[in-house]
């Protein structure tokens, strides 16, 4: 009996070692468009881009770098129960659990790609997540002075030099979280983004969030990277369907967090 | 029968430092990201739906009891970029799948990102990495 147990342990150890040796190979990054060396086109961001995430919880800025909140935001924050980060709980109330829109800027930091399409007078961002789109007006108009708040806001953009597309946005509602770790923003939020094309396959992405109603200082996100995907990669349809979400919750989400039976 | 390898469940309590957090859309706190479990069984259902693909399979434990596992995976778009389609799995297929198990011990898991993969009976492998 003892010998059998020892054999089993030896077999498991050997299998685990083999598994550990082979696994990193299977998980290697796929190269992007394989053309980083080719020159970057001027004033052109068209293509399917993927935010290089360090994990789904990675959002605007690490929690430790978030500026102090105002009392208004602190009260909101206290009601938020995220599924990620230092306050992660299995009893979360993330708005996306019932298919509320991700909103901007949260949608940018997802592990799903978006596509830039240039059109006369505007640049369009098509997000796989939610099958959502965001027009960025480039015809010289200003941001509206008193916009009706929306999940994705109102955006205008212009080029700085030949490689940097600067986008200013406002007009957001305050219903979305800034990210999966659950930080609020107000309707006064304004954002400035810089998409700098470093080479053919790479965008260096900077975003600053100005929201004095919610934060005592602007949130300056650490620079992030976006990579151009292969031409064969297309934006797929990733919609949140409430009925399917409900079925999923019954079959997986709730059993995964239920208290074990004694 | 006792030695039939097909019903052998290989559970690797391999505590691996996973590269990057698991993104399970609704929060990773339900799953043990530090643990990867590999199970072999028979597919009973494959739901290629948004926002989570789901794989259900019957797995025999060491005593021959059938345990019904429910596995959450990535969105169909991410799966597609990894080579999947709605016909990749059908009931009756024998597969081996690597997953992060639920912390509560239920036969539920998340398979995706760099540590999740399915090995088919003919040796083919498909990942579910974020891309």
Return the pLDDT at B16. 36
> Tokens representing B127?
């990942």
Residues sharing a CB contact under 8 Å with residue B80, sequence separation 6 or more, in sequence order:
A236
A-B CB pairs within 8 A amount to: 150
Contact A26 B30 (CB under 8 A): no
User: Using a CB cutoff of 8 Å and minimum separation of 24, what contacts does A206-209 make?
Assistant: A207/A60, A207/A105, A207/A108, A209/A60, A209/A105, A209/A178, A209/A185
Nearest chain B alpha carbon to A32: B131
Average pLDDT, chain A: 86
A12 touches chain B (CB under 8 A): yes
Return the pLDDT at B18. 36
Sequence-ordered strand ranges (E) for chain A: 47-51, 114-119, 122-127, 132-137, 154-160, 164-170, 190-199, 202-210, 219-220, 224-228
Residues in A closer than 8 angstroms to B130, CB to CB, are 53, 56, 111-112
Element holding B77 (H helix, E strand) = helix B76-81
Contact B26 A26 (CB under 8 A): no
Contact A55 B131 (CB under 8 A): no
Q: Which residues of chain A have pLDDT under 70?
A: 1-37, 54-58, 261-262
Contact B27 A229 (CB under 8 A): no
Flag whether pLDDT at B4 surpasses 90.
no
Name which of B5, B8, B27, B33 to mutate to probe chain A: the one with the most chain A Cβ atoms within 10 A of its Cβ.
Answer: B27
Residue pointed to by tokens 């304004």? A190
Return the pLDDT at A111. 85
b/e B44-74 (16+ beta carbons within 10 angstroms → b): eebbbbbbbbbbbbebbeeeeeeeebbbbbb
Flag whether pLDDT at B115 surpasses 90.
no
The model's pTM is: 0.79
Kindly report, residue by residue over B73-93, the tens digit of the pLDDT.
Answer: 999 999 999 999 999 999 999
Is the CB of residue A68 less than 8 Å from the CB of residue A74?
no
- Strands B66-72 and B108-110, by their bridges, are parallel
Kindly report, residue by residue over A27-37, the tens digit of the pLDDT.
Answer: 334 445 555 56
Integer-rounded Cα radius of gyration of chain B: 14
SS3 category, A200? coil
Residues sharing a CB contact under 8 Å with residue A66, sequence separation 6 or more, in sequence order:
A183, A215, A219
Residues in B closer than 8 angstroms to A238, CB to CB, are 50-51, 75-77
Return the pLDDT at B14. 36
Contact B51 A238 (CB under 8 A): yes
Cα separation of A27 and B127, whole Å?
A: 8
ipTM of the complex: 0.76
Cα separation of A100 and A176, whole Å?
A: 8
Please tell me the number of Cα atoms within 13 Å of A64 on its side-chain side: 0
SS3 category, A86? coil
- Nearest by CB to B14, from A16, A53, A180: name it: A16
Residues in A closer than 8 angstroms to B10, CB to CB, are 12, 15
Contact A241 B49 (CB under 8 A): yes
Contact A180 B29 (CB under 8 A): no
Q: What are the Cα distances from residue A255, in Å, to A25, B29, B79?
A: 32, 13, 23
> Which parts of chain A fold into alpha helices (H)?
2-26, 71-79, 242-248, 254-257
Nearest chain A alpha carbon to B68: A251
Kindly report, residue by residue over B8-63, the tens digit of the pLDDT.
Answer: 444 433 333 333 344 555 556 789 989 999 999 999 999 999 888 999 999 998 89
B19 touches chain A (CB under 8 A): yes
Is it true that the peptide bond before B121 is cis, omega within 30 degrees of 0? no
- Nearest by CB to A251, from B22, B25, B54: name it: B54
Residues in B closer than 8 angstroms to A83, CB to CB, are 24, 26-30
A20 touches chain B (CB under 8 A): yes
Return the pLDDT at B94. 97
Return the pLDDT at B53. 94
Residues in B closer than 8 angstroms to A241, CB to CB, are 49-51
Cα separation of B43 and B11, whole Å?
A: 18
Kindly report, residue by residue over A5-48, the tens digit of the pLDDT.
Answer: 555 555 544 444 444 433 333 333 444 555 556 788 999 999 99
Return the pLDDT at A262. 55
> Tokens representing B90?
């059908």
Indicate the DSSP class of residue A185.
-
Binding-face residues of A in 66-85 toward B, CB within 8 A: 82-84
The phi and psi torsions of A42 (rounded to 5 degrees) equal -85, 140
Return the pLDDT at A36. 58
């Amino acid at each position: 009996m003892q010998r059998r147990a020892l054999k089993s342990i030896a077999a498991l150890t050997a299998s685990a070692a083999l598994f550990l040796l082979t696994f990193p190979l299977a998980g290697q990054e796929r190269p992007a468009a394989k053309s980083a060396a080719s020159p970057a086109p001027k004033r052109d961001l068209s293509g399917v881009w993927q935010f290089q995430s360090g994990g789904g919880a990675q959002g605007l800025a690490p929690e430790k770098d978030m500026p102090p909140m105002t009392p208004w935001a602190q009260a909101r924050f206290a009601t938020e129960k995220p599924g990620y980060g230092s306050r992660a709980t299995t009893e979360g109330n993330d708005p996306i659990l019932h298919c509320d829109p991700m909103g901007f800027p949260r949608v940018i930091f997802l592990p799903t790609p978006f596509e830039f399409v240039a059109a006369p007078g505007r640049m369009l961002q098509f997000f796989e997540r939610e099958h959502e789109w965001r027009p960025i007006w480039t015809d010289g108009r200003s941001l509206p002075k008193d916009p009706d708040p929306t999940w994705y806001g109102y955006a205008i953009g212009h080029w700085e030099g030949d490689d940097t597309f600067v986008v200013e946005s406002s007009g957001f509602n305050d219903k979305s979280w800034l990210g999966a770790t659950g930080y609020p923003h107000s309707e006064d939020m304004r954002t400035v983004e810089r998409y700098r094309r470093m080479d053919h396959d790479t965008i260096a992405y900077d975003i600053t969030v100005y929201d004095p109603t919610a934060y005592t200082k602007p949130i300056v996100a650490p620079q992030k990277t976006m990579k151009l995907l292969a031409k064969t990669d297309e934006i797929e349809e990733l919609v949140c369907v409430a009925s399917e979400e409900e079925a999923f919750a019954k079959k997986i989400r709730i059993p995964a967090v239920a208290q074990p039976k004694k | 029968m006792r030695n039939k390898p097909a019903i052998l469940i290989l559970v690797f309590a391999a505590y691996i430092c996973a590269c990057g957090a698991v993104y399970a859309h609704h929060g990773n706190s339900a799953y043990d990201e530090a643990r990867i479990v590999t199970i072999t069984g028979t597919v009973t259902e494959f739901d290629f739906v948004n926002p989570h693909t789901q794989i259900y399979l019957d797995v025999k434990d060491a005593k021959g009891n059938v345990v019904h596992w429910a596995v959450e995976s990535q969105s169909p778009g991410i799966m597609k970029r990894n080579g999947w389609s709605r016909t990749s799995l059908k009931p009756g297929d024998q597969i081996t799948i690597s997953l992060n198990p639920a912390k509560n011990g239920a036969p539920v898991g998340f398979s995706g990102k760099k540590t999740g993969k399915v090995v088919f009976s003919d040796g083919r492998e498909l990942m579910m990495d974020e891309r």
